[in-house]
Structure 1
């Protein structure tokens, strides 16, 4: 299997400075080494995390090529790659070392090297693989992919093979946002048949959780949001009840629907007051998952006795606590069976429309933007 030391010209969207628009420019990327794969990106999702990194909620160095929901076709593989080959269709997901205790236990989202592999701005030694046309390095390896570019370098363990008959341009968001919402329900909270579930937030992650709760057999599925169009879509995707928290008291509404409190809830807004309210809406022995990402240092308040006396639990969840090699193909299969219609969340944009896509995502006009590449 061939590798190259040459550089390939690519088109990339670059985040240059805090809060500034992405710029589209030509750049160069090296070929794959060791267990790396070079992927021709067909499309990539735009996620809330890309925008909060652009805005420096997390200290990722800039200028940087972001993007972490890529899908594409393997172009070239490194000499240590075992199971992937040129021509394979892949979804790119988060980076994990593959050999620490968490990874060995099937919990790669809690990898000892997670922050460095996904937010470090380069590989674990600080090296980058992309340079601009003047030969200056651009920070990359974002989520071990940096897929806001026409070609991306990933590792074999975060390039997940998917069937050729699945719509590749649609699948990128399975690598992060949709995997997060669905995995939180199925893998982390383990929502069970006949139970009640509330999604606090009806964005792409929250609606993915709604769809997963239906797959898991929950019989009361509540979507909470302030945008009526999102609540209407939630009903279409499997919610049995909706709550507009701008119009009614969310806690009281959930307690009435569930006769005392919900069994499971997922907080995806990143708003601490929503988390606090959600805890109070849990029933006895209820469990709350937290996936919303506010700025570092954000604090939330709640009455400790509301946890203690009701036996309630709260847990943080990264990437739906999934094993991507198993979970992403399962989500693809559910989609192909018509049981997980995440395509209803999506709107396509070209790469040069990335700033419009970001604006539409922030304003709520678009739930899940996907950027398509013209090769």
Structure 2
């Protein structure tokens, strides 16, 4: 079938993207779903920093590719072997399908499936190969097995979760990345307990979801840190007990004074080495730094091993919030419907294909948190 899609043909673009226009909206060809795959009509897709890191070259991916990894839509057609979905079912995409058989899957960590990691790095679907071609017949890579900056997507069955139809799909779109990664890092990776002290560094869509997760978990002190004062104000509205501008030269001293020696958990959601260094410096003895932001591929983070040993500090990575999507996405949607995850406050606006380059300018300069691409909007 022919459809419109947002195609990135070269990484390393420089802002403003409104002028450099790294993303072109093209008519592309999408093949029918093969065995174990489904065709989805995309209703909403979130503009995320993970997309931005591919556009600016911080995290190189095969190009040309159709962007987009966070979104939601309706099933149109199922391929051979699919019996648990049908046309019309609402689904949320998730960007790490799993084989169910590799060592990581068998130990209960499907988010780091070894088979999917190989396919994702090549720009293929997990079943092998690609289903996207340009108008001239050129093969187009899939972004994280999803490529939802398009009117339709063919994905592996494991790349989506069926959800209740009571939630608008434009809202449900951000549960597959921002909500899972942020809330999951707090609830699954750190497993914070009521009364714990927490520092959340980087208040984008993922970081603010981390803050909401800390509130759900009952954290006693929630310190929000960012360079953007408007986002600090929003963090206070969403439940931060204290906020600090990351540029404050006395930041570490003030947080340690506030918490009686440092926080129990610090979360880097900024994807920057400076944020990791800040977080590590805010920990009390026995504290833990959880790194959930994706820093540039060539970045390096250093620490002093003797102090790490004597203070029993820990550093942990968190990919996709340590989530099992089929378990956690419905849980988090339920929390949203209870009013405990007010993510509507994080959605800045809807955008069309014609506004997608400017949308990434707004994401890069911090003037928008989550923008939702609506591919079928008039």
TM-score higher than 0.5 here? Answer: yes
Aligned CA-pair RMSD? 1.4
Query: Shift in Å at residue 124 of structure 1?
Result: 5.2
Query: Shift in Å at residue 280 of structure 1?
Result: 1.8
Corresponding position of 1:47: 48
- TM (norm. structure 2) is 0.94
CA 1:123–1:164: 2 relative to 1, 3 Å: closer
Corresponding position of 2:197: 196
Corresponding position of 2:135: 133
Corresponding position of 2:18: none
* Deviation string, structure 1 residues 111-162 (Cα, Å, up to 9, x no partner): 112432333212358622011122222122x221111110001122221011
* Deviation string, structure 1 residues 149-201 (Cα, Å, up to 9, x no partner): 10001122221011111111111121112211110000000011111111011
Corresponding position of 2:372: 370
Corresponding position of 1:159: 160
The 5-angstrom pairing of residues 90-129 of structure 1 reads 90-94=91-95, 95-123=97-125, 127-129=129-131
* Deviation string, structure 1 residues 322-353 (Cα, Å, up to 9, x no partner): 00001111111111111101111112111221
Segments of 5+ residues of structure 1 without an aligned counterpart are 1-7
Query: What is the alpha-carbon distance in structure 2 between the residues aligned to residue 173 and residue 143 of structure 1?
Result: 15
The 5-angstrom pairing of residues 1-375 of structure 1 reads 8-18=1-11, 19=13, 20-94=21-95, 95-123=97-125, 127-140=129-142, 142-347=143-348, 348-374=350-376
Query: What is the alpha-carbon distance in structure 2 between the residues aligned to residue 112 and residue 152 of structure 1?
Result: 23
| C-alpha contact 2:123 2:144 (8 A) present in aligned 1 | no
Mean Cα displacement is larger for which, 99-108 or 21-30? 99-108
Query: What is the alpha-carbon distance in structure 2 between the residues aligned to residue 338 and residue 124 of structure 1?
Result: 36
Query: What is the alpha-carbon distance in structure 2 between the residues aligned to residue 352 and residue 214 of structure 1?
Result: 37
| C-alpha contact 1:243 1:253 (8 A) present in aligned 2 | no
Secondary structure at the residue paired with 2:114?
coil
Secondary structure at the residue paired with 2:303?
coil
| C-alpha contact 1:38 1:74 (8 A) present in aligned 2 | yes
Equivalences, count = 367
Query: Shift in Å at residue 260 of structure 1?
Result: 0.6
Query: Shift in Å at residue 265 of structure 1?
Result: 1.1
| C-alpha contact 1:89 1:163 (8 A) present in aligned 2 | yes
Query: Shift in Å at residue 35 of structure 1?
Result: 0.9
Secondary structure at the residue paired with 1:374?
coil
Secondary structure at the residue paired with 1:144?
coil
Query: Shift in Å at residue 24 of structure 1?
Result: 0.6
Corresponding position of 1:5: none
Secondary structure at the residue paired with 2:52?
helix
